[in-house]
Amino acid sequence: MSYPITDYLKEINENSQKKSISYNGPNEGDSFVLWLTGLPCSGKTTIAKGLKEYFEYRYLKVAHIDGDEFRKNITPELGFSKKDRFTNLMEATNIAKTLFFNGLIVICSFVSPYLEDRKKIQSNFYHDNFLEIRIDASPETCEKRDVKGMWKKARDGEIKGFTGYDAPYERSPVGFCINTEVADEQMTIELAADYIENWRRKAGEMYV
């Protein structure tokens, strides 16, 4: 099975050689990067998939870069030290930039626990084409949702440096947060979509 992000990059490379894609690309200037951050199993991937469907329904081209799939397919050699986490996020950021500059909406769902790393990610984009949203849930709720058993392995000492258990998650002092404990799946997607649409509208008004 092919990995969608690799397929996107291949398509971009082929179209670039044909010179058939303009700077704005298929979304005609509506592209942006959305970065979903939060504890493992907090709901990032679920919301990302829902938002992807939301924008595709509006005939926009969207790429979703999921943290677990990215490590599996792009950076399998990297571990979970602070240095390796940063390297992994920079790899993802560079791919997100490529997709964004070719006109795609890019939704990235990564734990990305360190505030300094997230600031570095954001510094690669203008403020009106990058948005960070924190997806929040308690460690207890995250563990209950964890079908892979990662939280239990962390408690049993099988995984070291697990974010939310024996490694920190640093919250941004400002920014939008969605608590997935107080809203159901559909509502969290709608909350995120409404916030993004308002943000896009305000960003667009800056250039009117």
**Cα separation values, 73 from 6, 7, 26, 142, 150, Å:** 9, 12, 26, 24, 19
Listing from the earlier edge strand, what are the strands of the sheet with 33-37? 62-66, 105-109, 33-37, 130-136, 176-179
Give dist(CA 114, CA 94) in Å, integer.
Answer: 18
**Per-residue burial over 16-33, b = 16 or more CB atoms within 10 Å of its CB, e = otherwise:** eeeeebeeebebeebbbb
Q: Determine the number of helices (DSSP H) and then strands (DSSP E) in the chain.
A: 8, 5
Of residues 2, 42, 112, 172, which has the active-site annotation? 112
112 is known as an active-site residue? yes
Residue 131: closest CA among 118, 140, 141: 118
Structure tokens at 189: 């997607």
Which sequence positions are flagged as catalytic?
Answer: 112
